[in-house]
Amino acid sequence: MIDKLRRLGPEVAGLLVLLLVALLQFANFVPFERMRWQVFDFYQAAAPRIQEGDGQVVVVDIDEASIAQLGQWPWPRTDLAKLTRRLGEAEAVVVAYDIVFSEPDRTSPAAIVQRYSQLGENGTLGADFANLPSHDALFAEALGTVPTVTGFFLDSAEIGRDVELAASFTINGTMPSTDVREYPGALLPLPELEEASAGIGSVTIDPDADGIVRRASMVAIHRGVLVPTLSLETVRVAQNLGSPNLLASDGSGQTLSFPGAAVSVRLGDTEIPVNDAGEMWIHFQPPNSIEMISAAPIITDAMSDTELADAVAGKIVFVGGSAQGLQDLVATPVSADQVAGVTVHAAAAQQILSGEFLDRPDWALGLELLLVLVLGGGLVLLLPRLGALPGALVAACMIAAVTACSWLAFTQLRYLLDPTYSLIAIATIYVVQTAAVFFREERQRRYIHSAFDRYLSPEMVRQIAASPETLELGGEERDMSVMMCDIRGFSLIAERHTPREVIEFLIDFLSPMSEILLAHKATLDKYIGDAILAFWNAPVDDPDHHRNAARAALEMIQATDKLNNVMAGRTDVVWPGEVKIGIGLNSGVCCVGNMGSRQRLSYTLIGDTVNVASRLEGLTKQYGVPIIAGHALADKLEGFALLEIDRVRVVGRAAPETIFALLGDESIRIDDGFVRLAENHSALIDAYRHQNWDKADRQLEQSRTQYEALGIAGLHSLYCDRVAQLRNNTLAEDWDGVFEATQK
């Protein structure tokens, strides 16, 4: 069961990711919701709404130039009265103020008289001046002559009076109080201005959490009553329509939303799709596409009646401010900089008039969730079977398809379908599953690696893992160093112990020997009973393979002596007394590679160099030295403690081989004892090869203790016996001092 779960690990990981993404989507996870907004913003910027012909909406802008010309805001209401009258005379359909006139005009005559009287200037201005009409009254009079809509602020604090609507909302279904914003308070215009207006609407704009305005509220709840926003009320007045109607989810029977959610707002024959909060998605026009007219030229008559009529006749006019001091600037998806808030109301009104809306239908979430489950589930099942690259292509195709469908839905159908969760699910599942597959395969690779490390060198295993093609039959010629190591007297050991005891002994012996070889970059070729065949400079290049082989051999001799000392005092292991080993070293060209049959391969090497190394190991017993190296290897060991011990014609080989005893590294090479022995031994070999037996005997006599001190008394005994034997024999005239080995 556990193994099955491990095999299904990538699928399980992918399903967990899919479930997590689906849960986040269902919960409307805020960071992902912001990503959705940014996707829709990109769509808006890439394909803004294009208004064909002249726009039906104009904005009169209280801009910086107007403030500079007419003075600090607020202006006298007489200026606004003139602005209103001139717009009416120019046949504007309706004038909507994105301004709340909640306080009396302080520049009215009565207000000025009162201020001067407080300063002790009674009677200076006269009673007639105080009795002049207030500026608010003059403004109200102007509002009464032109169809106007005034604005009010909704407030979360319980302030102000009830809103008196010119046309109350009707509702089909339950009051949508769950998501539609409720405000207990309102900041309303002066009663005389409100009464003179043809309509009144909320100017409150609620941006998203990132400060960008993407939707315009069509309706809000104030003290249990549905109230319209400025744009909706302006269009109603402009078209002389009756009450707007809110369609709730339980009043339509055609929605997947919960009961009481807002679905749409009907205004005359136009049905405006809204979200559960009663907000309409605004499809913004390109920046600066709404016609803006500076307010000052209208008020100062710098703009002629004809020019004004050409600009506003038959159109809705919104009045608002873009000046910094008015603090009515907002960000939109299509604007690089902040724009006047009045342009949002204007854009919303323009969209209502056009009858073309962006819509995020109530079934959108269900479709998006279905896409996540279908595409994500399909990817979960396919990826482990396809592999990383084909899986990436499939995932890329899914991402491209989802993105393209979302884009086409926006541009062709004006649907807002969110690709975010599908893209997140596809990308995350791909990354997690690919990582899980990699982890599973890496775990298997590590298992295989650890298993094969018992048979091959780590470098060999790494090379096979990196390049499986190396498992083909064939080889290459390389200059290599070869070692053959063998336990002396192993047959007697095997005879005196049971097979299990012999195996336990070999494990205890071969394990540390193998560690030494691997530490010195050797490749372990094979174990032949008690023997070890190892080589250097394959499969990985080792430019210092001669010296690495020599150091490994010397360390193995030292390790054997330590094992003898340690194992002798232990009763929990099988150790057959004092163990001795012989090592043959040689270097030369070998053929190395995958040898064997097509059914079974072995990475090994063949060549004369290997055969000579094996013969040299056999000679260690005869010459009484632990390590014998061939001349090709010895020539590369400058600084090592080497003694030329003979010239030998080994079994199976015609050419003689000069052989050397390897006695130590650089530290032994400079030791006084070795230096004296090397001089005496060199003189011995010279006398021996020139058949000067007396001199040879003297050299052997003088250096006996030196041979014993370095542990090669057997070499001394061999030459003593050989000199004595040759002295008594008649040698051929062509005798060259080469010893003929008769056994392997």
Helix (H) or strand (E) holding 627, with range, is: strand 627-630
Task: List the end-to-end C-alpha distance of the chain, in Å, as a whole number.
Answer: 56
CB 429 within 8 Å of CB 20: no
Instruction: Answer yes or no: do 223 and 116 share one domain.
Output: yes
In order of 57, 84, 143, 293, 579, the CA distances from 299 in angstroms are 20, 9, 15, 12, 117
Question: What residues contact residue 620 under an 8 Å CB cut-off, 6+ apart?
Answer: 582, 583, 584, 626, 627, 628
Question: What residues contact residue 677 under an 8 Å CB cut-off, 6+ apart?
Answer: 643, 703, 706, 707, 709, 710
Instruction: Answer yes or no: do 375 and 497 share one domain.
Output: no
Find, among 201, 206, 205, the residue nearest to 230 by Cα. 201
Lowest mean pLDDT among 119-133, 145-159, 322-336: 119-133
Position 178 scores a pLDDT of 84
Rounded to whole angstroms, the maximal C-alpha distance in the chain is 163
In this predicted model, what pLDDT tens digit does every residue of 711-741 receive, in sequence order?
999 999 999 999 999 988 888 877 888 888 7
Instruction: Answer yes or no: do 350 and 369 share one domain.
Output: no
Instruction: Answer yes or no: do 544 and 431 share one domain.
Output: no
In this predicted model, what pLDDT tens digit does every residue of 509-557 receive, in sequence order?
999 999 999 999 999 999 998 999 999 998 888 999 999 999 999 999 9
In this predicted model, what pLDDT tens digit does every residue of 476-508 receive, in sequence order?
899 999 999 999 989 888 888 999 999 999 999
**Complete DSSP assignment for 448-479:** HHHHHTTTS-HHHHHHHHH-GGGGSSEEEEEE
The token duo for 333 is 């998806």
At residue 448 the predicted structure's pLDDT band, cuts being 50, 70 and 90, is: low
Find, among 186, 178, 213, 215, the residue nearest to 202 by Cα. 186
Instruction: Answer yes or no: do 295 and 205 share one domain.
Output: yes
In this predicted model, what pLDDT tens digit does every residue of 661-671 receive, in sequence order?
999 999 999 99
Instruction: Answer yes or no: do 378 and 496 share one domain.
Output: no
Last residue of a domain, one of 550, 581, 604: 604
Position 2 scores a pLDDT of 44
661 part of a folded domain: yes
20 part of a folded domain: yes
Average pLDDT, the chain: 89
Instruction: Answer yes or no: do 98 and 158 share one domain.
Output: yes
517 part of a folded domain: yes
Position 22 scores a pLDDT of 87
Instruction: Answer yes or no: do 490 and 399 share one domain.
Output: no
Q: Which residues pair with 320 in a beta bridge?
A: 61
Q: How many structural domains does the chain have?
A: 4
Last residue of a domain, one of 314, 331, 354: 354
Cα–Cα distance measured from residue 620 to residue 628, given in angstroms and rounded to the nearest whole number: 6
The token duo for 146 is 């032109």
Q: For residue 568, give the CATH number of its domain.
A: 3.30.70.1230
Instruction: Answer yes or no: do 399 and 444 share one domain.
Output: yes
In this predicted model, what pLDDT tens digit does every residue of 4-47 receive, in sequence order?
445 566 788 888 888 998 898 888 888 888 888 999 999 999 99
**Segment 196-214 mean pLDDT:** 94
Q: Which residues pair with 226 in a beta bridge?
A: 221
**Segment 381-391 mean pLDDT:** 84
pTM (global) more than 0.75? no
Instruction: Answer yes or no: do 158 and 278 share one domain.
Output: yes
Q: Taking 90 as the threshold, does the pLDDT of residue 111 lie above it?
A: no
**Complete DSSP assignment for 279-328:** EEEP-PPSTT-SEEEEHHHHHTT-S-HHHHHHHHTTSEEEEEE-SGGG--
Cα–Cα distance measured from residue 383 to residue 551, given in angstroms and rounded to the nearest whole number: 51
40 part of a folded domain: no
Position 437 scores a pLDDT of 79
Domain that holds residue 571: 468-604
626 part of a folded domain: no
Find, among 193, 88, 84, the residue nearest to 134 by Cα. 193
Q: Taking 60 as the threshold, does the pLDDT of residue 322 lie above it?
A: yes
Share of the chain above pLDDT 90, in %: 66
622 part of a folded domain: no
